[in-house]
Amino acid sequence: MYLNCHSYFSFKYGTLSVEKLLAEAQQKNISRLALTDINNTSGVLDFVRLASRYGVTPAVGIDFRNGVQQQFIGIARNNNGFLELNDFLSPHLHAEKKTEKEIAPRAPQFDHAYVIYPFGNIPVNSLRENEFVGVKPGELNKLLFSDLKNYPDKLVALAPVTFNSKKDFNAHRLLRAMDNNTLLSKLAATEQAQPGEMMMSEENLRLLYARFPFLISNAKKILSDCSIHFDFGKSKNKKYFTGNAAADRELLRRECRDGMSYRYGAISKTISDRLEKELMMIEEKDFSAYFLINWDIVRYAQHKNYFYIGRGSGANSLVAYLLRITDVDPIDLDLYFERFINPSRINPPDFDIDFSWKDRDDVTDYIFARHGTRHTALLATYSTLQSNAVVRELGKVFGLPKNEIDSIQERYEKNSRDKYLQLIFNYGNYLHDFPSHLSIHAGGILISEEPIHAYTATNLPPKGFPTTQFSMLEAEDVGLYKFDILSQRGLGHIKDTVEIVKQNRREKIDIHDIKRFKKDERVKERLSQARCMGCFYIESPAMRMLLKKLEVDNYLGLVAASSIIRPGVARSGMMKEYIIRYRNPAKATYVHPLM
């Protein structure tokens, strides 16, 4: 019956988390409702995934607004309807001009979605078959004296849900004042929701609409016709790199064979057997496209002479090594492929690919051009209200001068009975971790088989690439696994250094020729003496001290040092014990002879 429910993903407006909204519905014995956040779909995937736990049949949509001015509500009849709504909203969120951002009062023709207009906004005789006028509880008296009551089939009950208590309403007003950068006492009534926007039981809702029972019936009919389903856990990533599975398998095998000569020269049976084992597993798990997309990204980087480093759990894979995605030789280091991919693994392996800060945006641009903006998006993150920031914002809302806001924590500790300080810290704790706005994940990119808008509307931040309205957690839940395209400033300096060496000594250096670096006596000497200033990750004072104590002069020793330098290991005493045993192997003891 509830066609217009808001979560706190209606940023600085709603006050209910998705779980809290569903729990409220369960408590009130409400079995169907629609989540319709304001110009936002961040909560949709969690809402659909969790609804069954609370005995709720979910419907989803969008509350289309200009600021707080409601234009209409779109409710998806099915997944195609959700795609339609996202396709409509996203260009408005992408637009730069204010006039293009604004949403018109009249909805476009939706083939798979219902539209609910605010009371009195649109002439009832102009409504399409899937369009209705919503009547809020406070508008029932207006309906008595309106010609709209003569069109009962086009009217529905519209009882918005934005909070569930008086405290929630107060928090809502504080959020609205923060959003408008104004004092709470000067917050306009038009900038806030009505105090009664709370969920009630079906019985009480029917009593409220008793004079017009058909309003409830029509709302229930709409919700009963709506269904939404996402096959959670099943991969939604792009299925094929070439267009079909057979061609993907053939291309992957060919590129691996081509990579053999670059990486190994002579090919041993151990390498051949390991490669076949990996390829069989990759094909069985339908991960060929995932590998080929990563291969295509680094191939583009090679073509543009961009320096990159591939890392992550993918370093265990011979296939990744042959495709030059990573430079870690799993044969040489005796790394287990099963840690990377095994029959029980659902999601594809993890690759993090670092590029120079100067090159990453071009690589990202290539990915979007290669796979199309309709199927590609950056991942979002949620910027949340944190303790100090929200306390300062509330101080402004209550009209405290800057010098008092600066010392607010100290003043509260000295005089916790101060009325305004109590309110600030009470609501500061209440609003802690509320999502404030969307930001961008450090490097996550999604490439989907279906259009991205099948799962989310997209924003267009200053970076210039469409960005989802959900985080990597929701993406992984629904089966969208990210490609990590990260920035590492050191790679730019390494490239500059290689160019200087080439100019001064006429010597060409391949930074991916790891075997050569492992055997270089000068590199070993510098490592053992901890002369590694300017070397990413191993230049910190603590790391240099550890390297000097261990006298590390080989790759495996460096790997071990990078593991035991972590705070937990150091505090436990294991670092000291490792140094002793590394320097004096005779002191090592083992729990079992096989070790």
Claim to verify: residue 206 and residue 296 sit in the same structural domain: no
Q: Structurally, how many domains does the chain consist of?
A: 3
Claim to verify: residue 37 and residue 146 sit in the same structural domain: yes
Angle between helices 245-263 and 269-284 (to 10 degrees): 150
- The structure tokens listed for 401 are 């001068």
Coil, strand, or helix at residue 504? helix
Q: Which of 328, 343, 359 is the last residue of a domain?
A: 359
Q: What is the DSSP letter of 114?
A: E
Q: What is the pLDDT of residue 63?
A: 98
Q: Which of 333, 359, 385 is the last residue of a domain?
A: 359
Position 433, amino acid: D
Claim to verify: residue 142 and residue 245 sit in the same structural domain: no
CA atoms within 13 A on the CB side of 513: 8
Q: Measuring CA to CA, how many Å separate 497 from each of 55, 306, 492, 502, 535? A: 62, 14, 9, 9, 12
Q: What is the pLDDT of residue 569?
A: 84
Non-local CB neighbours of 348 within 8 Å, separated by 6+ positions: 235, 237, 285, 287, 290, 481
> Within a domain: residue 386?
no
> Within a domain: residue 267?
yes
Claim to verify: residue 201 and residue 270 sit in the same structural domain: no
Claim to verify: residue 202 and residue 255 sit in the same structural domain: no
CB 252 within 8 A of CB 246: no
Claim to verify: residue 213 and residue 245 sit in the same structural domain: no
> Within a domain: residue 424?
no
Distance CA(2)–CA(586), nearest Å, equals: 73
Q: What is the pLDDT of residue 343?
A: 80
Q: What is the pLDDT of residue 130?
A: 97
Domain that holds residue 137: 2-162+197-224
Claim to verify: residue 21 and residue 83 sit in the same structural domain: yes
Claim to verify: residue 264 and residue 337 sit in the same structural domain: yes
Q: What is the pLDDT of residue 162?
A: 98
Q: What is the pLDDT of residue 413?
A: 63
* Bridge partner residues of 379 (DSSP): none
> Within a domain: residue 135?
yes
Q: Which of 317, 339, 359 is the last residue of a domain?
A: 359
> Within a domain: residue 201?
yes
Give kind and range of the element (H or E) at residue 444.
strand 435-447
Instruction: Compute the C-alpha angle 500/501/506, nearest 5°.
Output: 115
Claim to verify: residue 151 and residue 271 sit in the same structural domain: no
**CATH number for the domain including 87?**
3.20.20.140
Give kind and range of the element (H or E) at residue 20.
helix 18-27
Order of strands, sheet of 57-66, starting from the edge strand that comes earlier in the sequence: 2-5, 32-38, 57-66, 69-76, 113-117, 131-135, 155-157
> What number of other Cβ atoms are within 10 A of residue 161's Cβ?
26
Phi, psi angle pair for 337, to nearest 5°: -65, -30
Distance CA(458)–CA(469), nearest Å, equals: 6
CA neighbor of 105 nearest in space, from 70, 139, 132: 70
Claim to verify: residue 29 and residue 67 sit in the same structural domain: yes
Non-local CB neighbours of 93 within 8 Å, separated by 6+ positions: 39, 101, 457, 458, 459, 460
> Within a domain: residue 563?
yes
Claim to verify: residue 144 and residue 273 sit in the same structural domain: no
Q: What is the pLDDT of residue 1?
A: 84
* Bridge partner residues of 42 (DSSP): none
Each of the 595 residues of the chain gets a pLDDT tens digit; together they read 899 999 999 999 999 999 999 999 999 999 999 999 999 999 999 999 999 999 999 999 999 999 999 999 999 999 999 999 999 999 999 998 888 999 999 999 999 999 999 998 899 999 999 999 999 999 999 999 999 999 999 999 999 999 999 999 999 999 999 999 999 999 999 999 999 999 999 999 999 999 999 999 999 999 999 999 999 989 999 999 999 999 999 999 999 999 998 899 888 999 999 999 999 999 999 999 999 999 999 999 999 999 999 988 777 899 999 999 999 999 988 888 887 787 877 788 888 999 998 999 999 999 999 999 999 999 999 999 998 889 889 999 999 888 888 887 676 666 667 777 888 888 999 999 999 999 999 999 999 999 999 999 999 998 899 999 999 999 999 999 999 999 988 888 888 999 999 999 999 998 888 888 888 999 999 999 999 888 878 889 999 999 999 888 888 888 889 888 888 887 888 888 888 888 888 888 887 877 6
Looking at 196-339, list the stretches that DSSP marks H as alpha helix, in order from N- to C-terminal side: 202-208, 213-224, 245-263, 269-284, 288-303, 318-322
> Within a domain: residue 380?
no
- The structure tokens listed for 452 are 């991205």
* Bridge partner residues of 438 (DSSP): 382
> Within a domain: residue 235?
no
Q: What is the pLDDT of residue 583?
A: 85
Claim to verify: residue 330 and residue 288 sit in the same structural domain: yes
Distance CA(463)–CA(477), nearest Å, equals: 26
